[in-house]
C-alpha cells in the first residue's frame, strides 16, 4: 500500500472523472453530438480493451525464467474457454485458477 493521502486523491480523481463522463451527455449533448465524439465512442472501446489486456501483461518478459509461457497459456485458455462457453464468470474463474496452478505448481 502506498501513501494513504495519495491513494485517497487517486480514488477522488477516478471517481470524479467517472462521474463527469456519466453526467456529460446529460449536461452537454442535449442537441446533437459532435461527430468526432461519436466516432471515438464507436472505435475506442475496442482499442482500449486491447490496450488493457497488454497493460495487464506489462511485466512479462520473454527472456525471463518462465519465458512468459504461463501468461500466454492462461490468456489463450481464457479466450478459448470464453469463445466456447460464453460464460464470463466461468472464463475468469477457470482462467485465473489455471494461471495460479501454472505459476505455483508447474513453473
| 37 interacts with other proteins by CB under 8 A | yes
- Whichever of 33 and 67 has its CB closer to other proteins, that residue is 33
Q: Which string of b and e fits 42-60 if b means at least 16 CB within 10 Å?
A: eeeeeeeeeeeeeeeeeee
Cell 461519436, residue?
Answer: 38
- Whichever of 51 and 67 has its CB closer to other proteins, that residue is 51
- Which phi-psi region, left, alpha or beta, contains residue 31 (left: φ > 0; alpha: ψ -120 to 50)? beta
Q: How many whole angstroms separate alpha carbon 28 and alpha carbon 92?
A: 37
| 38 interacts with other proteins by CB under 8 A | yes
| 13 interacts with other proteins by CB under 8 A | yes
Residues that bind other proteins (CB under 8 A): 1-3, 6-7, 9-15, 17-19, 21-26, 29-30, 33, 37-59, 70-71, 74-75, 78-79, 82-83, 88-89, 91-93, 95-96, 99-100, 102-104
Amino acid at each position: 500500500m502506498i501513501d494513504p493521502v495519495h491513494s485517497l486523491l487517486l480514488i477522488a480523481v477516478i471517481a470524479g472523472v467517472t462521474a463527469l463522463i456519466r453526467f456529460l451527455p446529460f449536461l452537454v449533448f442535449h442537441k446533437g453530438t459532435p461527430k468526432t465524439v461519436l466516432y471515438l465512442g464507436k472505435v475506442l472501446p475496442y482499442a482500449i480493451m486491447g490496450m488493457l489486456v497488454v497493460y495487464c501483461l506489462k511485466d512479462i518478459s520473454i527472456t525471463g525464467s518462465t519465458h512468459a509461457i504461463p501468461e500466454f497459456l492462461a490468456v489463450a485458455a481464457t479466450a478459448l474457454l470464453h469463445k466456447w462457453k460464453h460464460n464470463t464468470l466461468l472464463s475468469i474463474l477457470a482462467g485465473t485458477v489455471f494461471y495460479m496452478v501454472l505459476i505455483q505448481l508447474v513453473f
